[in-house]
Every structure is written in C-alpha cells, then in structure tokens.
C-alpha cells in the first residue's frame, strides 16, 4: 500500500507503541493526526522524543477519548484510524476501575461512532493478550476463551466486543490486532522489562514480583509492522489477529538474561507489593500467530536478545526519565 498522503488518525499517539507507530507512518508518507490526552502542560508524551523533522509533519490534537465531540472532530476527513488510546496499567485498574472502564470501553465506542460518521476505510483497534487470561491451552489462538482476570482485561474485552458488534451491525471495516507483550525503547517502568533494566543499571538489588509467569515478547518495531499490515490487507477486515513471537520466557529467565546483558551483579529481592492478586495473575501467555502469518504475511524478525540489548542501550541514555526503584502502577 502506498501511504503517501493518506489521512491517518492515531489515538494514544503519545504512548509507547503509539509513538513508534506514529513515527513509522510519517516515514511512510502518511498525513498523520496524533490524538493525545490533554494536560495543562501541553505534554505530547513520547511524541516529544521524535526527530524534529517528524514532529513538524504531525497534526497533534489534545483531548480525551471519553469526549465524543472531540473524537468526532479529530476523525473528520480521516481515511484510517489506528486506535491505541487506553489506560493500560493492570495494577492501576485495581485502584481505579471506573476510570479504566470509562476510557477503554466508552473511549472505544466514541472512536467507532466517529469512524462510522466519517466513513473511514479502516479502523485498526488495539486489543491485548491479557483478554485471554491464564492460558487454558497452548499456544493461544484467536478462538481461546476470553477471561476478565483484572478490571483492565475486562475493559479490553468490552472494547473488543464493541468492535465486533460495529463490524457485524454496521459493516464498519474494523480489524482487531491483539499484541502479546510488546517491549522496547520508550516503554515506561510500569512494565516488567524497564523495571528490571533500570534497577540493574543503577542498584545492587532488583526488586521484582512473581518470577514464574511466562510471557510472549515482541520487539516494538515488529509490533508496529503488524499494525501497518493490518491496515493494508483487505482480508483482515472483521478479523481478530494475534501478534506475538510464538516463544515464551518466564520472568525469572528474563531477569537472568537482562542481568547478563547489563553485566552487573545484582541481588534479586521478592517484593510482595509487586505481586498480583492470586486469582488475577496471568501465569502463561504464548501466542499462536499462524493467522497473522497467513493473512498478513507477518512474523517478528528481531530476536529477544537483540531487542533487549537495544532496549538496555536506550534506557541507559534516558535514566533520568525513570523513577528507579519505585513501584509504578
């Protein structure tokens, strides 16, 4: 697909994956509107890290996904919407479930209503592997049962089902991409990999929660490619598509690998504050990505060790951005 001049709206553009996707779309020649959550500081989130020549190409819109009028206006004249805007902190969802549900469910409804009104040619909606809960079978394909093991995952299940309903009820051209655990530069200390890396680079001990959960990790550049392909392939419309590596690693194994890359000895300390409630912990996630391979021609290309090395390098030059050692929810 030739993206030159295509009018694109990215919600959650200031976030981790959103900023990388926004950057890639500008590089492809798209005309990008970047929707970021309003704050009085005029903070664009990670968009401020993009090269000046990329920033100059952006039309940045500040607003709130819960405001239908703001979303409708942002979608006016748009061809493709990439909907990444969400509150994603699982521990945060334990504390503020109402805000999480409002943003993730009603925000998604507003995007769908705006997309229908603007007659967009594609909506790429962002799901999460958390909607599967702890695996009932391995690998997890798109037919796996959905389990709301946290208020966050329940909110994303609701958002996913709204997308399904708009596809079936109104023929809205929606595709839902379901990334497993994406990592890389710009990810916050809310996630396990930056949490480990920042402590390993600066302290003699690493405070961590459970070491046994297993995750399927994909470098952010590969995830972004999956999003782009989901917008390009006609046959993707109406589908839910996993994006993952098809490999699993435990948090304990991940910790050991990161310590090897960093090259500093550290004591591992179990921190009860960082452990999820027993019935909420997702013990195992491993993606079956055969649909993405068949339908999108997509598969990740960055090996885990290379991706971690690139992430360690980035974090080591941006340590002042992290609250090292604090438990971020």
- Please list the helix, strand and coil fractions of the chain in percent, rounded to the nearest 5, in that order: 45, 15, 40
- CA 128 to CA 152: how far, in whole Å? 10
Per this entry, what is the length of the chain? 329
Catalytic residue of the set 92, 132, 152, 183: 152
**In 3-state terms, what secondary structure has residue 58?**
coil
- CA 244 to CA 288: how far, in whole Å? 8
Q: Backbone phi, then psi, for 86, in 5-degree steps?
A: -170, 160
Q: Which of 70, 66, 78, 64 has the alpha carbon at shortest distance from 33?
A: 78
Q: Backbone phi, then psi, for 62, in 5-degree steps?
A: -95, 135
Query: Residue ranges of the alpha helices (H) in 4-136?
Result: 16-27, 52-55, 68-75, 90-95, 97-101, 107-118
Query: Positive or negative, the Cα torsion across 74, 58, 89, 321?
Result: negative
| Contact assessment for residue 180 and residue 287, using Cβ atoms and an 8 Å cutoff | yes
In eight-state DSSP terms, residue 319 is G
Q: Which of 22, 158, 142, 48 has the alpha carbon at shortest distance from 100?
A: 158
- CA 40 to CA 61: how far, in whole Å? 13
The verdict on whether 183 is a catalytic residue reads no
Where residue 15 falls (left for φ over 0; alpha for ψ -120 to 50; beta otherwise) is: beta
Catalytic residues, by residue number, are 152
């Amino acid at each position: 697909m030739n993206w030159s001049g295509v009018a694109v709206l990215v919600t959650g553009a200031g976030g981790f994956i959103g900023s990388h996707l926004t950057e890639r779309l500008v590089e492809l020649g798209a005309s990008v509107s970047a929707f970021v959550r309003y704050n009085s500081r005029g903070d664009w989130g990670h968009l401020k890290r993009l090269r000046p020549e990329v920033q100059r190409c952006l039309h940045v819109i500040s607003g709130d996904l819960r405001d239908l009028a703001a979303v409708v206006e942002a979608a006016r004249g748009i061809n493709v919407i990439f909907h990444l805007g969400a509150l994603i902190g699982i521990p945060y969802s334990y504390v503020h479930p109402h805000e999480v549900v409002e943003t993730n469910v009603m925000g998604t409804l507003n995007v769908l209503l705006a997309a229908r009104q603007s007659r967009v040619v594609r909506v790429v909606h962002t799901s999460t592997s958390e909607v599967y809960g702890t695996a009932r079978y391995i690998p997890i394909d798109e037919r796996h049962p959905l389990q709301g093991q946290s208020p966050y995952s329940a909110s994303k299940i609701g958002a996913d089902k709204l997308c399904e309903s708009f596809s079936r009820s109104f023929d809205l051209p929606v595709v839902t991409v379901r990334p497993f655990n994406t990592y890389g530069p710009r990810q916050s200390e809310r996630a396990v990999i930056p949490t480990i890396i920042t402590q390993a680079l600066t302290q003699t001990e690493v405070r961590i929660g459970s070491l046994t959960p297993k995750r399927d990790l994909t470098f952010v550049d590969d995830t972004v490619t999956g999003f782009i392909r989901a917008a390009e392939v006609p046959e993707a419309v109406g589908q839910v598509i996993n994006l993952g590596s098809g490999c699993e690693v435990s948090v304990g194994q991940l910790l050991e690998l990161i310590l090897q890359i960093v090259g500093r000895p550290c004591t591992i300390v179990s921190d009860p504050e960082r452990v999820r409630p027993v019935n909420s912990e997702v013990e195992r996630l491993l993606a079956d990505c055969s649909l993405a391979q068949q339908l999108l021609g997509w598969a990740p290309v960055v090996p885990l060790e290379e991706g971690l090395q690139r992430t360690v390098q980035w974090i080591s030059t941006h340590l002042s951005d992290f609250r090292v050692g604090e438990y971020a929810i």
